[in-house]
Amino acid sequence: MFNEFARYEEDFKAWCQDGYPTDFATTYRYIDFLSDPTNDQAPREGTLWLHQWEAFLRVVYSYEVLGKKTIGEHGLLLNIVTGGGKTADIAAIIAWLRISHGGQKFLMLCPNLIVRDRLEEDFEKGKVFKDRDLLPDWSNARPQDFDLTTLGGGKSSGWASFLGASIVLGNIHQFYQSNIAGRSNLSALMNGPDFVLFNDEAHNSPAEEYTTTLQRIEKKVLLRIDTTATPDRADGRAPDSDMIYEYDVNDALADGLIATPVVYQPDIKTVELTYTDALTGVTKRVEEIDWEEVDRKGLSATQWVTDDKPMRQQMAIALKRLQEQEMRAKGRYQPILFVVAVCKKDAIKAENTLSKIFKVKTLLVTEDSPEVDRKSARELGRQQKTKDPFKAVVSVLMLREGWDVPEVGVILLLRKFSSKVYGQQVVGRGLRRVRTKGILPEEPQICAVVDHPKLEHYWLWDIFNCKIRPNVTTEQMFDEAEDLPPPPPRQDISRPEFVIDVPKEIEGLVDEGEFEVGEIELTEPIENWEEVLASLEYSGETVEITDQKITGVTGKELIPKGWKTIHSAPDLPPKDNGTQVEDTDDNMREAIKNRVLELAEELCVNSGYAAGFRGEVYSALMQHVRGKFLDNMTLGLADRRGLDYAWKMLYQVKVKVTAVPGLVGGIIEYANK
């Protein structure tokens, strides 16, 4: 996403050097209040961090000096890394607008309950204003003046509370026209005074109804501030606001503000594969092959982290990293292992494996978890101070944006990420530094991420500027004090006068250039797709990874001067072969439905269609699965034998359907005709 403020950097810096001249005298006075008494170009200690100060000043400059017609017609966007303290900037902006512009109403929108609960805790009873000393004595604003009402949080009492509160906090869904409560809330909002809008985690906003809601309320918005750590979405879209400040992972590493990610992967020499009859479960044969030859077997990426033996090996690596983190903690806090699964079935298996085989107290959080477990997840950091704390938490992408537990010291990936947004958000859960008694600000901290080479997350580690220096080996644990090189230097614009505008469109442009275009072969949608789909044949043989010889564990430190470190192979718990991890029929049904839906979306996108057509493909695939593997019975009526059979065959379904050009297009184009 382009930084729209870059072209104004030179004028902005001159404005700062000139003493922040503005038509609003109280703005200058408020900036002076936040400034260091000995250096008016820096923030006063205890208020804002330096990058928060930079972001705050750019908001002031954009609003008061440049104006909406120049920048921010649809809002201003602050792109600040996870752990960078976006909430403090929101609070400082609220205080400034109340003091300098008489702002009385502030609406904070967020995408989910986890983010909402975090913001509620920060703003309840003016906590963040007091903690950061953001309200000067000479102003009429006091922390208690910023009374908060949280929609759906049990602390709201209808329109009276809504209209009377200074700060209204709610999920964007609570203003959707598709539900009665949303229509009522939106009506109250539109019939009240104009307000300032804070759109937290703004990368969610391109969702259709999200965008529609923002457009509906725009005429009542005095100023819109978007905040996010990942503005660019996997679908290529971005918020319609103008980005004016960017503080990314490398900036935060340079400032020592976040923990340094270190990725660990197993070095595998040989793999044992067991072939079984998918319907009967009878073993047909076993073979051992070299790691270099394994790709020809056509294994799915997730098998390397979800089949029994590989999962246990990955967990053993992760628990070794957790043990190292506990040694670093020195009793000052309890580090946490965060396990990320792709579906509820895998999450339950992971939780059972950790708790029953490795004997690690583990919390499972899914969309079906009771509120008490969700609350435990949100308060995990505080619970670590008890006598019997959780040491691991397993989630199905429930704990992403807004789940801020600094004690997360190890992240285990039991899924493949195709979305850059989700990948960064998950890694971001481990970037927050632990700030507790006895930990100095300059003390190095790391976040260990346990990955697998077959998940092919190289693109994700490239985002963190991973560089590897080979041939450095050690059997000792990673020493964050000795092994971490100096953080990378911050990259700033030194010659803003050379920044050029990138026009969004050039009217009347005619390109007379000549270039050769090879023949483009277009695939026509198959009209008789039902016959073609029904004709697909499947092998009843499935393959499982039942063993793999790990020669070591590679640690890749993720900053520009990083390197590779070889650790010893993990030790599995003794006598684990007899332990069975049970799963219910309902969980298997849900897993099949979710996987078929994922397949439908993948097939749509890979065939050049929008993900919105996944419904048609899902219906066709589910009917196909019923006919081929479930004796034409529905998932609800199928027995466990059939469910297991269908689950094992889904990877073949993906491969077979993908191999027929035009088949997915035919489903989309002709399914409803």
Could you tell me if residue 119 is inside a domain? yes
**Do 167 and 278 sit in the same domain of this protein?**
no
Q: What six digits make up the tokens of 662? A: 């035009």
Which range of 250-254, 277-281, 326-330 scores highest in mean pLDDT? It is 326-330
Flag whether pLDDT at 187 surpasses 60.
yes
Average pLDDT for 159-187: 81
Cα 330 to Cα 439: distance, rounded to the nearest angstrom: 10
| Residue with the larger pLDDT of the pair 510 and 254 | 254
**Do 80 and 229 sit in the same domain of this protein?**
yes
Could you tell me if residue 576 is inside a domain? no
Could you tell me if residue 521 is inside a domain? no
**Do 616 and 554 sit in the same domain of this protein?**
no
For residue 369, what pLDDT band results from cuts at 50, 70 and 90? Answer: low
Per-residue pLDDT at 184: 85
**Do 119 and 43 sit in the same domain of this protein?**
yes
**Gyration radius (Cα) of the chain, Å:** 27
Domain final position from 247, 282, 309 = 247
**Beta pairing partners, 443:** none
Could you tell me if residue 513 is inside a domain? no
SS3 content of the chain, % helix, strand, coil (to 5): 40, 20, 40
- DSSP letter for each residue of 325-347: HHHHHTTSS--EEEEEESSHHHH
* pTM, two decimal places: 0.75
Per-residue pLDDT at 470: 37
Per-residue pLDDT at 100: 94
Flag whether pLDDT at 476 surpasses 70.
no
pLDDT tens digit sequence for 626-672: 999 999 999 999 998 889 899 889 889 999 999 999 999 999 998 87
Report which of 139, 167, 137, 133 is spatially closest to residue 151, judged by C-alpha positions. Answer: 167
Cα 222 to Cα 217: distance, rounded to the nearest angstrom: 10
Per-residue pLDDT at 472: 35
CB 395 within 8 A of CB 339: yes
DSSP single-letter state for residue 246: E
Average pLDDT for 193-217: 80
Flag whether pLDDT at 613 surpasses 90.
no
Domain final position from 194, 212, 247 = 247
Average pLDDT, the chain: 81
Average pLDDT for 66-72: 92
Which range of 78-87, 217-226, 483-492 scores highest in mean pLDDT? It is 217-226
CA atoms lying within 13 Å on the CB side of residue 507? 0
**Do 169 and 276 sit in the same domain of this protein?**
no
**Do 345 and 485 sit in the same domain of this protein?**
yes
**Do 136 and 228 sit in the same domain of this protein?**
yes
pLDDT tens digit sequence for 557-610: 766 555 567 777 777 776 555 455 567 888 888 889 988 988 898 888 888 887
For residue 469, what pLDDT band results from cuts at 50, 70 and 90? Answer: very low
Cα 621 to Cα 628: distance, rounded to the nearest angstrom: 10
Among the ranges given (140-144, 375-379, 662-666), the one the predictor scored with the smallest mean pLDDT? 375-379
CB 112 within 8 A of CB 425: no
Q: What six digits make up the tokens of 549? A: 């010889």
Could you tell me if residue 420 is inside a domain? yes
| Residue with the larger pLDDT of the pair 26 and 438 | 26
Backbone angles phi, psi at 129, to 5 degrees: -65, -40
Owning domain of residue 282: 260-490+541-567
Flag whether pLDDT at 136 surpasses 80.
yes
Could you tell me if residue 94 is inside a domain? yes
Q: What is the four-CA torsion angle of 49, 494, 22, 132, rounded to 10 degrees?
A: 0
**Do 199 and 264 sit in the same domain of this protein?**
no
Q: Which distant-in-sequence residues (6+ apart) come within 8 Å of 192 by Cβ?
A: 105, 162, 163, 220
Per-residue pLDDT at 41: 92
CB 391 within 8 A of CB 360: yes
Flag whether pLDDT at 439 surpasses 90.
no
**Do 19 and 95 sit in the same domain of this protein?**
yes
Flag whether pLDDT at 123 surpasses 50.
yes
**Do 150 and 176 sit in the same domain of this protein?**
yes
**Do 265 and 241 sit in the same domain of this protein?**
no
Per-residue pLDDT at 490: 60
Q: What percent of the chain has pLDDT over 90?
A: 28
pLDDT tens digit sequence for 330-353: 888 889 899 998 888 888 899 999
Flag whether pLDDT at 26 surpasses 90.
yes
Return the beta strands (E) in 446-568 as ranges.
446-450, 541-557, 564-567
For residue 467, what pLDDT band results from cuts at 50, 70 and 90? Answer: very low
Average pLDDT for 19-30: 93
Average pLDDT for 108-113: 79
Structural domain count of the chain: 3
Domain final position from 218, 247, 276 = 247
Backbone angles phi, psi at 446, to 5 degrees: -125, 160
Among the ranges given (97-101, 127-131, 457-461, 566-570), the one the predictor scored with the smallest mean pLDDT? 566-570
Per-residue pLDDT at 475: 42
Per-residue pLDDT at 161: 66
Cα 35 to Cα 30: distance, rounded to the nearest angstrom: 9
Among the ranges given (217-221, 273-277, 496-500, 602-606), the one the predictor scored with the smallest mean pLDDT? 496-500
Backbone angles phi, psi at 544, to 5 degrees: -125, 145
Work out the angle at residue 579's Cα, subtended by the Cα atoms of residues 577 and 581, and round it to the nearest 5 degrees: 125
Among the ranges given (382-396, 485-499, 601-615), the one the predictor scored with the smallest mean pLDDT? 485-499
Flag whether pLDDT at 196 surpasses 70.
yes
Q: What six digits make up the tokens of 476? A: 């000792």
Average pLDDT for 456-468: 70
Per-residue pLDDT at 497: 55
Could you tell me if residue 563 is inside a domain? yes
What sections of 23-157 are H helices per DSSP? 25-34, 50-60, 86-101, 113-123, 127-131
pLDDT tens digit sequence for 269-322: 888 888 888 888 888 778 888 888 887 777 888 888 888 889 999 999 999 989
Backbone angles phi, psi at 663, to 5 degrees: -70, -50
- CATH of residue 139's domain is 3.40.50.300
Could you tell me if residue 139 is inside a domain? yes
Average pLDDT for 7-36: 93
**Do 193 and 232 sit in the same domain of this protein?**
yes
Helix (H, G, I), strand (E, B) or coil at 283: strand
Cα 422 to Cα 577: distance, rounded to the nearest angstrom: 34
